[in-house]
Structure 1
């Protein structure tokens, strides 16, 4: 996760409000709670990420939405262990009320959300066995979910490259707004 270290270093210098939104590390027993609650272990990449930071703050010290926390491409913020479990369980329960055509297209019980936007949209890591394992996609609550990165490592590599060398991460280009990192849809 060297690319994640570069992202953090870039944030600390260029977007200190976003850097300050990072929470302390998750405890190992908290990370183990993911497997107990969801029925499968989190992949090593998400465990390493949570060992660095248990997500980002949802609210600032005034009780307002911590907008600087939404510094991932697409306007997402890192989820804490508790939020991962809550979002996963909520989406999996909702999937159970939908028809079978939504299974694996709208949501899948083996997708682990690790980031979310203010709406219910989320980034997830696919935990299905085989070629799908480890891929990162976007859950879009009113559309079909899509895979955009081959792994969390590829996601952070693109993010780091966009921040340190310019360019974009998938469809998004970075910019600093005040002291917070934001992403805008890049022109094709």
Structure 2
């Protein structure tokens, strides 16, 4: 199975499980990204996103459908993530095209501002993030010879290697949701509950 097919298959299993077991969380998933949204994201990043990310976004354009924004005094807006957005382990939400582009620009600006090219590189794409702090997962698009690996990032630290591919994250997650276990994988120790139709990850 190709990496693209693996990502699509695993995510479809996850979405199916959410719809059957945690419908309130499933409602946080946006419809798939359009050609225009993908094109705008490519333009904002300055390169075409990897196929594995494109197929994921075309299935669902993030888990931010219930998020909202409020104006900030002096201009701009602040994002107010909804608790149902946190469909991924670690209390993370799946970022859509708009959020990915915004985070990419923000982190590159910080890298330039502090004069540290190692803080954030242009091919790094934040695809999952906690709602209350800059902690999450990067898809590293600078690997032209194979599937883009995942990096883990956190405030104040340089990103570090996490998993060989996006499929290595989503496949065991689908196993965990369907069977309650994913031995030998990054999900082996993750635990969750469902209450009132909502998925909640235990810390």
When the two structures are superposed, what TM-score results if normalisation uses the length of structure 2? 0.79
Aligned counterpart in structure 2 of residue 47 of structure 1, from 54, 73, 85: 54
Aligned counterpart in structure 2 of residue 85 of structure 1, from 98, 101, 115: 101
Measured on the aligned residues, the alpha-carbon RMSD in Å equals 2.3
SS in 1 for 2:152: strand
Per-residue deviation, 1:98: 2.5
Q: Deviations over 1:61-93 (max 9, x none)?
A: 8x9642011011111111121111000110011
1:131 and 1:181 map into 2 onto residues whose CA distance is: 36
Per-residue deviation, 1:146: 2.4
Contact 1:24–1:54 under 8 Å retained in 2: yes
Contact 2:27–2:65 under 8 Å retained in 1: no
Per-residue deviation, 1:142: 2.4
SS in 2 for 1:172: coil
2:87 and 2:191 map into 1 onto residues whose CA distance is: 11
Distance 1:158 1:86, change over 3 A: same
Distance 1:68 1:151, change over 3 A: same
The question of 1:163 aligning with 2:177 is answered: yes
The equivalent of 1:154 in structure 2 is 168
The equivalent of 2:75 in structure 1 is none
Aligned counterpart in structure 2 of residue 107 of structure 1, from 103, 120, 123: 120
SS in 2 for 1:36: helix
SS in 1 for 2:191: strand
Counting matched residue pairs gives 181
* Structure 1, gaps ≥5 residues long: none
The equivalent of 1:94 in structure 2 is 110
The equivalent of 2:74 in structure 1 is none
When the two structures are superposed, what TM-score results if normalisation uses the length of structure 1? 0.85
Moved over 3 A (4+): 58-61, 130-133
Distance 1:92 1:7, change over 3 A: same
* Structure 2, gaps ≥5 residues long: 1-7, 71-79
Aligned counterpart in structure 1 of residue 25 of structure 2, from 6, 18, 24: 18
The question of 1:179 aligning with 2:197 is answered: yes
